[in-house]
Amino acid sequence: MGILEVSNVNKRFGGLQALGNVNLDIAAGTVHAIIGPNGAGKSTLLNVLVGKLIPDTGTVLFNGVSVLGRKPYEINQLGISRVFQTPEIFSDLTVFENMLIPCFAKRDGSFRLHALESIAAEKDLIEKAEHMLTEVNMADKRHMLASSLSRGDKRRLEMAMCLVQEPKLLLLDEPTAGMARADTNNTIDLLNQIHDSREITMVIIEHDMHVVFSLAKRITVLAQGSPLVEDTPDNIKGHPKVKEAYLGEAAA
């Protein structure tokens, strides 16, 4: 039994079948990529996983607990973190303050009225945040406003904010979209390094095949809302069905 089980999920938008009978079983500790051509339903599937969309039928179990109908903050508290296509960070806060917030959320839960407590007294959390910043090579930028970071650094910061919460599952929505080659490669290295050091489960939605094949241990190909094939990267490469899905009938 995997850490995340998606069974018989269907979702329609009007006349469009966005997801049709999706079944996924994601093993703990793996890096699982979900790929597919535009409009294959990747984003819809991701939105179902984080509780933003409720499917018409089917279940999504995380460690045996249903995530459907839960608010994003509840899902995060279960141990699922999400990295967005465009980095979502607290731009008006400093890098260090950005790092502190997930630390508090992890320790104190979704709300705590710590209005008269001092941040300086939280030595453990400060150390944790600093440690994480060092790990992603951003310790020297801790006083910068997050809005003044480069795009690559914003992505790093967002990942660091997710990782400092030690999630059991990390969802990544096109983590290298719009990045230059060098930044993309840095991100790949960072993700590999994270995975090696923590054995964290990752689900990646990605366009870029270079990224997918550098990271994924297992790949699901989605086409027209349904899983087409699920296999290891080596077997997916050159798989006729995959070619067909991507290039249409001409290539088949």
Contacting positions for other proteins (CB under 8 A): 50, 71-73, 76-77, 81-82, 84, 88-94, 96-97, 100-102, 104-106, 108-122, 126, 142-143, 145, 147-148, 161, 165
Name the minimum Å distance from CB 146 to other proteins.
8
Name the minimum Å distance from CB 204 to other proteins.
17
> Nearer Cβ to other proteins, position 140 or 234?
140
> Nearer Cβ to other proteins, position 122 or 230?
122
> Nearer Cβ to other proteins, position 74 or 189?
74
Q: Which two tokens stand for residue 176?
A: 């290298």
**CA separation, residue 239 to residues 185, 230, 245 (Å):** 25, 11, 10
Do 165 and 81 meet the contact criterion of CB atoms below 8 Å apart?
A: yes
> Nearer Cβ to other proteins, position 140 or 189?
140
> Nearer Cβ to other proteins, position 67 or 221?
67
Taken as a whole, the chain contains a residue count of 252
Do 163 and 132 meet the contact criterion of CB atoms below 8 Å apart?
A: yes
> Nearer Cβ to other proteins, position 1 or 115?
115
Name the minimum Å distance from CB 160 to other proteins.
12
Name the minimum Å distance from CB 67 to other proteins.
13
Name the minimum Å distance from CB 134 to other proteins.
14
Name the minimum Å distance from CB 191 to other proteins.
18
Name the minimum Å distance from CB 94 to other proteins.
6
Rounded to whole angstroms, the Cα distance separating 26 from 80 reads 13
Rounded to whole angstroms, the Cα distance separating 202 from 223 reads 21
> Nearer Cβ to other proteins, position 57 or 110?
110
Rounded to whole angstroms, the Cα distance separating 44 from 179 reads 23
Rounded to whole angstroms, the Cα distance separating 9 from 22 reads 5
